[in-house]
Amino acid sequence: MAELSGKFQLSDADEENFDKIMAEVGVPEEKRARGRALRPTIQFSRNGDDYTMLYITGDGRELSHVFQLDVEREETTMDGRKVKSTYKRNGKNIVQHEKQENGKVIVYDREIIGEELHVKISCGDLKAHRIFKKL
């Protein structure tokens, strides 16, 4: 991935395992159920050292995170949890380590392959994969 940029919409997802990861970090069932019904869009842009990730749920909610590589920052997740995230480059991928208040860590490994954004998600032994198509 030369650059993490563009706008992508969820097209394929391992929802069962993603749901298990969200349950593991404490997301309530009602919020997980609402999330399963959505086909979110993620938009990435970069301005100098600042990256912006805009998450659009499709039900009127948006969440924007501005981050720099290798700098830990506090974030609020779409479901309202407070986490600390660090984004790093790993070859052509951008890898986010999201530390939860309960001590769990979710790792999001993002890679652009052709016209798709592939996101490999893990938390301990739990793993999920989501694919977003470029718009």
- Strand-pairing partners, residue 76, are 82
In terms of Cα–Cα distance, which of 11, 71, 84 is closest to 41? Answer: 11
pLDDT, residue 121, reads 97
pLDDT, residue 12, reads 94
Coil vs helix vs strand at 24: helix
Say how far apart CA 32 and CA 116 lie, in whole Å: 24
pLDDT, residue 35, reads 82
> pTM of the entire structure?
0.93
In CATH, 6-134 is 3.10.620.30: no
Check if the beta carbon of residue 126 is closer than 8 Å to that of residue 17.
yes
pLDDT, residue 4, reads 73
Go through the chain and tell me how many residues it has.
Answer: 135
Check if the beta carbon of residue 25 is closer than 8 Å to that of residue 105.
no
| Tens of pLDDT, residue by residue, the chain (135 residues) | 346 789 999 999 998 999 999 999 999 999 999 888 889 999 999 999 999 999 998 788 899 999 999 999 999 998 889 999 999 999 889 999 999 999 999 999 999 999 999 999 999 999 999 999 999
The alpha-carbon radius of gyration of the chain (Å, integer) is 14
Check if the beta carbon of residue 68 is closer than 8 Å to that of residue 49.
yes
